[in-house]
Amino acid sequence: MLDVSEYGNGYSVVGLNKSTNFVYMAKLHADGTVYWEEELPLIAANGKRAVPEAAGTTKDGGYIVGATVSGIHYRYSDYYAAKLNAEGRIEWTNEYLSGSHASFNYIHQAEDGGYLYLNNTEVYLADYSKTSAGKMDADGNVQIEKTLASGRFTSPYARQILELKDGSYLVVGGKDQILYTWRLAEDFSIADEQEYTELSTGKAAATADGGYTLAGVTQQGYVRLYENSGHQESNVVQLNLTGQVRSLYETAGGGYILGTSQGVYQTDSDGNILQVYEVSGLDKAIPTSDGNAVVLVEGRIIKLGSVQSLQLDSSEYSVNIGQPIDVIVTYFEGAAPLNVTKESSFRTSDPSIAYVDEEGNLIGVKRGRTMLTVTYNGLEAKAIVDVY
């Protein structure tokens, strides 16, 4: 699956059948049952099949697809875009030359009914590549395309483009474990470019205040939020989470739905975690109008509701011998967190190194490392403890 959105009282879905390279489309009731689905091949003007690489749902219940078509040489391909209506019928197609090997990274509908897209072009014999952002009108005609980076294959690839409240755009990309962002003006001229050497991967979300929030993964593997309100300095929030960031969306309440390779996290506007959903193999998590979320997981769609989870205030504690530190245990069920430190049970794998007293204080006894385990209401959380 490539994208899902709310449509009517249910959901609209678009994806790719990898065995046939057909576009897959479906409509679902609110309870997840499929009431319509169809697969469609996309055929280019040269008679060859277009291979879908990016797709999104549209406001009218239809679909927009970005694909590539092979040329006369196996290293040569061109761009192909198609708009499908709510019944899966083609409304228009558009093809344009790449000049070499093409790939479609991203495409979705803009607020004015046009389409924003990202692509890459690679010239293998010249060891050259470029990544570009562009916009089509509602009929698929390319209005503007801007090269963001070019050069040897080490140049970054653009992966996501957002339309911000002030009419500008934010593009997120990366290469060689470094995250890049480009801020584009309305005419797609580059207003600002940032290189985050401390981040390896990430996604961004447009925010209601006209700014955006960037969620990236540090070189140490932890998720970090960069909250940018308009053009002000970023507010950095370090989250006690690990895993690769798959998606980020702002909720109606000003918080976030963060999808990672480890699960889905609902946070408030300050990045405090309110709810945790353990989901493996996640591709994308999207907030829904009822305050929950739907997720795309390995070709399946899952509607998330309230779940129970337990969380320590750190995944790793550093303690000096004889100096106690507080340990806080939080229980989640629904959106409201509950401090259950005094009601929880604690144990360490080696009490001769560290233990937790009746007040929830973690106390170091001698130098070493041990594992802290806390249990409450049948749930369990763990953290590493280093004593110095």
Q: CATH 2.60.40.1080 spans which residues of the chain?
A: 311-387
CATH for 311-387 is: 2.60.40.1080
- For residue 288, what pLDDT is reported? 87
Amino acid type, 236: V
Identify whether the C-beta of residue 171 lies closer than 8 Å to the C-beta of residue 135.
no
Q: Is 319 exposed, middle or buried (0-12, 13-18, 19+ CB in 10 A)?
A: buried
Query: Is CATH 2.130.10.10 correct for 3-307?
Result: yes
Instruction: Print burial letters for 151-175: b (CB count within 10 Å at least 16), e (below 16).
Output: eeeebbbbbbbbbbeeebbbbbbbe
d(Cα 294, Cα 305) in Å, to the nearest integer?
9
**C-alpha count within 13 angstroms, C-beta hemisphere, residue 6:** 14
Residues whose CB is less than 8 angstroms from the CB of residue 189 and which lie 6 or more positions away in sequence, other chains included: 146
Nearest-5° Cα angle at 225, 383 to 275: 55
d(Cα 261, Cα 351) in Å, to the nearest integer?
33
**3-class secondary-structure state, position 75:** coil
Residues whose CB is less than 8 angstroms from the CB of residue 191 and which lie 6 or more positions away in sequence, other chains included: 168, 183, 184, 185
Go through the chain and tell me how many residues it has: 388
pLDDT in tens, the chain (388 residues): 789 999 999 999 999 998 999 999 999 999 889 999 999 999 999 999 999 999 999 999 999 999 999 977 667 899 999 999 999 999 999 999 887 889 999 999 999 999 999 999 988 777 788 999 999 999 999 999 999 999 876 678 899 999 999 999 999 999 888 999 999 999 999 999 999 999 988 999 999 888 999 999 998 899 999 998 755 567 898 888 888 999 999 987 778 999 999 899 988 877 888 788 888 889 999 988 877 889 999 888 988 875 567 888 888 999 999 989 999 998 876 545 789 999 999 999 999 999 999 888 999 999 999 999 999 988 888 899 999 9
**3-class secondary-structure state, position 343:** helix
Nearest-5° Cα angle at 296, 295 to 302: 55
Give φ, ψ of 341 to 5 degrees.
-55, -50
- For residue 240, what pLDDT is reported? 83
- For the whole model, what pTM was predicted? 0.77
- Whose tokens are 């004593």? That residue is 387
Count the Cβ atoms, other than its own, within 10 Å of residue 77: 23
- Provide, for the chain, the percentages of residues in helix, strand and coil under a 3-state DSSP scheme, each rounded to the nearest 5: 0, 65, 35
- For residue 214, what pLDDT is reported? 95
Instruction: Print burial letters for 258-287: b (CB count within 10 Å at least 16), e (below 16).
Output: bbbbbbbbbbeeebebbbbbebeebbbbbb
d(Cα 327, Cα 66) in Å, to the nearest integer?
50
Q: CATH 2.130.10.10 spans which residues of the chain?
A: 3-307
